[in-house]
């Protein structure tokens, strides 16, 4: 899956303290969550989104402390 803000593949970040997460444009949120759900990947979407300097609104999809970042990344990469 390509990030509409960077035109590069979405990446699962693992530098958080609460588990892996994905920063995603709100406009892509439904597609991403549908993809994760169809592969049995659990997630929680932050309630807040943020837009700076006219950029698209972004939000965070958390995969949880036990989230499998590598599996989620493979699924996201397969959707490119």
Q: Is 13 helix (H, G, I), strand (E, B) or coil?
A: strand
pLDDT tens by residue, 21-61:
999 999 999 999 999 999 999 999 998 888 888 888 999 99
- Map out the domains of the chain as residue ranges: 21-78
- Judge if pTM exceeds 0.85: yes
CB 62 within 8 A of CB 18: yes
pLDDT at 46: 93
């Amino acid at each position: 899956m390509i990030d509409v803000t960077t035109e590069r593949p979405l990446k699962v970040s693992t530098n958080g303290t609460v588990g892996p997460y994905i920063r995603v444009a709100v406009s892509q949120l439904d597609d991403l969550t549908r993809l994760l759900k169809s592969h049995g990947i659990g997630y929680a979407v932050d309630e807040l989104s943020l837009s700076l300097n006219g950029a698209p609104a972004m939000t965070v999809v958390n995969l949880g402390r036990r989230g499998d970042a590598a599996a989620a990344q493979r699924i996201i990469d397969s959707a490119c």
